[in-house]
Amino acid sequence: MDHDLPDYSALTPDLLAETCRAAMAECDAAVAAVAAIPAAERDFANTVLALEEAEEAVVKASGAWTFLSYTSPDDALRQTAREWEEKLGKYQVGLGFDEEQYRAVKEFAGTGAAAALTGEEARLLERVLRDYRRNGFELSGGERAGLRALFDELVEIGSRFEQEIAEWDDGIEVDRADLAGLPDAFVAGLERAGERYRVTLDYPQYVPFMANARSSALRRELMAKNQRKGGPRNVARLERAIAVRAEIARILGYDSWAAYAVEPRMAGRPEAVTAFLDDLRSKVAVKAAADLAEYADANEAAVGSRDVQPWDYDFALNRLKRTRFAVDDLRIAEYFPLDACLDGLFGVMRDVLGVRFTERPDVPVWHPDVRAFDVTDVTDAAGSGGAEDGGGGREGGEPFARFFMDLFPRPNKFKHAAAFSLQRARRRADGGYQRPVSAIVANFTEPAAGQPSLLRHSEVVTLFHEFGHVLHGTLTRTERGRFAGTATERDFVEAPSQMLEHWCWEPTVLNRFARHHETGEPLPKELLEGMIAAKQAGSGVATMRQIFFATLDFAYHSPGFGGDTTAALRDVHALHGIPYLAGTHFQSGFGHLFGYDAGYYGYLWSRVLGDDMYTRFAAAGALDPATGDRYRRLVLERGGSADGDRMVREFLEREPDNAAFLRELGLERS
């Protein structure tokens, strides 16, 4: 493949720095060349497209090279990548404030040729002009200089906020007796501290402990540590960032950062977001109250107490699933070895979307755990063999994309699960098509002595979710990089990923690959039926938690915020009936407050859309290739080249609604 990717296995800090520095110099020279074109000679290709081409070197460096700030096991390389991520971030801010670029674009925008543009070309020019307006080009030069300094500061704060979370190392020490109920393989994977065991905040340890440890006091201790992640320094950084955002909004004439941030999204106005969250909160409150009553029953049966606090929720839900539905997450995990899950995922996508994934062990990677795959079209999808036999199709020509998987936790690695774009798709100036590259970074359960990585079903859902982003990024067919893949509205971008989660609950899908890692036996029918029956258990509490996160984020960025993020946190806790854990500051480890600032509501907004889109598959069949082809063409391939609401309407052939979302929670639309 014609990728300009680093040799990740041999990368050095000096080479990374040299490449990033050269990318900025290349961009500077290209921008200067565009600026030098006489106004009378300007056209779309030598101005707007040329500026996109000029920026590409920096976009690539920001994607493929500084990505190592999240993943490299080498301290020096990771630190250098982080430094250049910040430098390139500031540089890209500067591009948006460049007077000569603005002059060049405005000269072309005033021509008849600009007025005659259609399709992606017209959309690109409109978006570029909107960016300039939102960067203050209708203000004086002095005001713009102040704005740029504020945007630069946000880049700095965000980098340090993320670094603090990534390097945070905390946990609790427990006796062997405190691990009763957890499998021997889990215990064997814990770090020892003499005769005691250390349970960290990494998901593969935190989640099972919170769901299985009988001691409420120990669960409280571990949750408190998790909600102090990032520490007081991140609280201070966040409060400064919120103040900077508010000042930017004020200078630009918006009443809040929320108003500024929401303007280019599907919601459009803060009032639409507030109404959306208020409506959901009132509907979900009924289900959440019913869930908590069930939690109290389950907790009383297990430990003799009806007093259920937030650190008891996962334990009580786990007991409820075990007793009422015979669902044991750790037993179910025995039927989801990672490789089988990948085979199943790839097989479903082959049959539904007509694409094949081929592992490439020869591709250089940044850590031995990382795996690389090429993506090709299946040109003859007539065969419908299962995941085991690879199906009956044949590969359609050369690979058109690549993706990496980095799935296990390690020190100083990105702590959550996310998909990253390492190289975006686009039509190059020479007429060729730049092939996209993505990466999934996660923290799934690691292989243990004598057994492979066994995924809890919730981890399988996460795998499918993040792969939805990879599909969005690699199946895109847009001409312009500005609209490639996930470069769509922030409150739409999660919809394809959330829709893909539905396949994790389809018996016809799970029966293709869920096999016991030792015996090869399929997932027992009673376990599968129990999983599906238990799907709505705790759905109200889980959704209320998402509403809580979205409301907190929006409160921080709306008029009336007083500057004390912990005080606002307590208020939002009270609004949602979720007790606040004294002495904690969850916001210090809430990484989405950078990148999804005033946008966390988008997870719920897009879930409504994703659930609605899946109704087409539910009606036609989860593995229906005709529906998959329409979805690929109308949504995935278009990236951000059309508005999200338009793509959804065209795929559904009707107006979207929230009926499917409410049904998923166990509620009827009301």
pLDDT for 470-528, tens place per residue? 999 999 999 999 999 999 999 999 999 999 999 999 999 999 999 999 999 999 999 99
CATH class of the domain comprising 13-96+98-134: mainly alpha
Beta-carbon neighbour count of residue 36 at 10 Å?
9
Distance CA 143, CA 163 (A): 31
Percent of the chain with pLDDT over 90: 92
Q: Which one, of 418, 433, 428, lies nearest residue 57 by Cα?
A: 428
Write out the two tokens for 209: 């402990």
Q: Which one, of 367, 281, 204, lies nearest residue 554 by Cα?
A: 281
Distance CA 323, CA 300 (A): 12
The answer to whether the beta carbons of residues 78 and 69 sit under 8 Å apart is yes
pLDDT for 564-600, tens place per residue? 999 999 999 999 999 999 999 999 999 999 999 999 9
Name the segment(s) of the chain with CATH classification 1.20.1050.40.
Answer: 13-96+98-134
pLDDT of residue 645: 96
Q: Which one, of 587, 641, 633, lies nearest residue 238 by Cα?
A: 587
pLDDT of residue 193: 84
pLDDT greater than 80 at residue 669: no
Axis crossing angle, helix 141-166 with helix 75-95, rounded to the nearest 10: 160
Write out the two tokens for 119: 């399709």
pLDDT greater than 60 at residue 558: yes
DSSP characters for 263-316? TTSSS-SHHHHHHHHHHHHHHHHHHHHHHHHHHHHHHHHHHS-----GGGHHHH
3-state secondary structure of 661: helix
466 is a catalytic site residue: yes
Q: Convert 567-611 into a string of H (helix), E (strand) and C (coil).
A: HHHHHHHHHCCCCCCCCCCHHHHCHHHCCCCCCCHHHHHHHHHHH
Distance CA 459, CA 437 (A): 23
pLDDT greater than 60 at residue 391: no
pLDDT of residue 415: 87
The one catalytic residue among 55, 162, 466, 494: 466
- Beta pairing class for 437-441 and 171-174: unpaired
Label residue 3 by pLDDT band (50, 70, 90): low
pLDDT for 603-619, tens place per residue? 999 999 999 999 999 99
DSSP characters for 344-380? HHHHHHHHHH-EEEEE-TTS--SSTT-EEEEEEEES-
Write out the two tokens for 298: 């389950």
Residue type, 601: Y
Q: Residue 631: in which H helix or E strand, if any?
A: helix 625-631
Rama region for 653: left / alpha / beta (φ>0; ψ in -120 to 50; rest): left
Distance CA 26, CA 60 (A): 12
The answer to whether the beta carbons of residues 537 and 325 sit under 8 Å apart is yes
Question: What's the whole-number average pLDDT of the chain?
Answer: 94
pLDDT for 98-148, tens place per residue? 999 999 999 999 999 999 999 999 999 999 999 999 999 999 989 999 999
Distance CA 417, CA 591 (A): 11
**Of the candidate ranges 185-194, 212-221, 461-470, 604-613, the one whose mean pLDDT is the lowest:** 185-194
- Beta pairing class for 437-441 and 395-406: parallel
